[in-house]
Structure 1
Amino acid sequence: MSTSTTKHAVPYYSQWESASLVPDFIGGQLDAADDPLWQKSGAGSPEEYAFWAPRMCGVACLRMALDFWRRPVPPSVPLVRELCEAGAYVREGDSVKGLIYRPFAEHVQGRWGLTAEVRADLSAGELPEIIAAGRLALLSVHKTIRTPHVRPPSRGGHLALAVGVSKETVLLHNPSGLPGVSQEAAEVSWDRLSAFYAGRGVILGD
């Protein structure tokens, strides 16, 4: 593991418009349809926003990367619709399959000219070199990585963006992280990462 510290100045986006209210959304105290900033998402209604907000971790990660590399950043729900058309999300009634890496990567490359490498096996040990080379990595982690001291029930199922590394930790922008705790450049030790990380993701570059 590299001993050097690298941290990219990546703007943070939550998958909910009101990042400060994430604890209430994930705890069930507040419905996403009641997000006071829902219209910023570009959704046609509070209900459309509420359907997608819990499922938009990959969209939030992409928006962060687009902003970092100075590409236009679409609102979240129009971006979701675009990714649906590209086959990166497949909606059937109230269920959604996605984010599907390969059509996502192909769309990102064709639409914004970024490189997007799908990795079905991406070891944590490769991340220092990836980050040092100026790239970012979408990592499949369990959503409870917002509280890394808690043991997760499984690995994967949620996407977070690796924006930095040090000898002891990986730094994650977590779209469903807790404000002031685990949203921006949240430190997760390499040992703890292994409990949440499914060993796959997408490497993004300019």
Structure 2
Amino acid sequence: MARTTGSTGVKTKEAIRRAAIKRIYQHGFEAMKLRDLADDVGIQAGSLYNYIKYKEDFLYLLLKEVLVELLDGLAKEVDGPETPLAALEAFIAFHLRWHTARREEVFIGNMELRSLSPSHSTEIVGLRETYEKKLRDILEWGNKDKVWKVRDPKVTTYAIIAMLTGVCTWYRPRGRLSQEQLIEVYRELVLRGIGLVKK
């Protein structure tokens, strides 16, 4: 397949990223061959090395980019609310919107951490912990303001994130529930879980 006339390096890089996400999601990182990826994008296999020097580095950079985008998006949503409840509701809505829209990347992030080198894995886990800490801080804020009483904010953080992220395994945009209806269902589940349901 010939490279599209007039395509730029930036466009090619983005095309590689999209094609790699699809291949890794469908076949796994270890099974992804760079020659096949080059064919998907329509470039020569040798040209791919202008964008990917090492396969593992590419996975690391992909996961890092996704997590940086996640953290940037979260900051815009949860740094504004003035109460713990509003911040928690904003976190729930953001997490569900982002994760249902980026299901393939979420799957890769959860399944392919094992394919990273120890140093890269440590950095990616650190970014994930930064995200988790945002929720833990909200739960601790609510404890401090006596909005709710969460016995163990750290464990509760893990439980809430696992529940919210699990939606990626079954949610379909054209399913019975709209995204907003889904958010409302999960909002009630989370608030019930911490002993607080907003009427």
TM-score, normalization: structure 1? Answer: 0.28
Larger relative helix fraction? 2
Larger relative strand fraction? 1
TM-score, normalization: structure 2? Answer: 0.29
